[in-house]
Amino acid sequence: MLWGYRAYVLAFFIFLAAPLLSAATFAFNDSLFPALPWQGFTLSWFFGDTEPKLGMFYDRRLISGLYYSFIIAVMVSLLTVFIGTCNAFLFVRKDFPGKNFFYILMIVPLVIPGVILGISILVLASSAANGLENQFNFELELLRPGIFLVVLGQISFTATITSLVIAAKLKKFDITMEEAALNLGASTNRVLWTVTLPFLRSAMIAAGIVAFLVSFENFNTTLFLVGSESPLTITMFDRVHKVGSTPVLNAVSFFLMVGSGLLAILSIFVQRDKSARN
- CATH number of the structural domain spanning residue 139: 1.10.3720.10
pLDDT tens track for 33-65: 888 888 889 889 899 888 888 889 988 999 999
Residue 14 falls inside a structural domain: no
pLDDT tens track for 137-153: 888 888 888 899 999 99
Q: Is the peptide bond before 97 cis (omega within 30 degrees of 0)?
A: no
Residue 115 falls inside a structural domain: yes
How many domains does the chain divide into? 1
| Positive or negative: CA dihedral 179, 184, 189, 192 | negative
Alpha carbon separation from 11 to 6, 7, 22, 25, 261 (Å, rounded): 9, 6, 16, 20, 22
pLDDT tens track for 158-201: 999 999 999 999 999 888 888 888 888 888 889 889 999 999 99
Residue 142 falls inside a structural domain: yes
pTM of the model: 0.88
Residue 107 falls inside a structural domain: yes
Strand partners, 29: 41
pLDDT tens track for 154-169: 999 999 999 999 999 9
Coil, strand or helix: which one is 147?
Answer: helix
Separation of alpha carbons 255 and 249, rounded Å: 10
Strand partners, 53: 50
Residue 17 falls inside a structural domain: no
pLDDT tens track for 70-117: 999 999 999 999 999 999 999 998 888 988 999 998 999 888 888 899
Residue 14 has pLDDT above 90, yes or no: no
Q: How many angstroms separate the first and last alpha carbons of the chain?
A: 40
Residue 68 falls inside a structural domain: yes
Residue 10 falls inside a structural domain: no
Separation of alpha carbons 278 and 266, rounded Å: 18
Q: Which domain holds residue 148?
A: 48-277
Residue 232 falls inside a structural domain: yes
CB 251 within 8 A of CB 56: yes
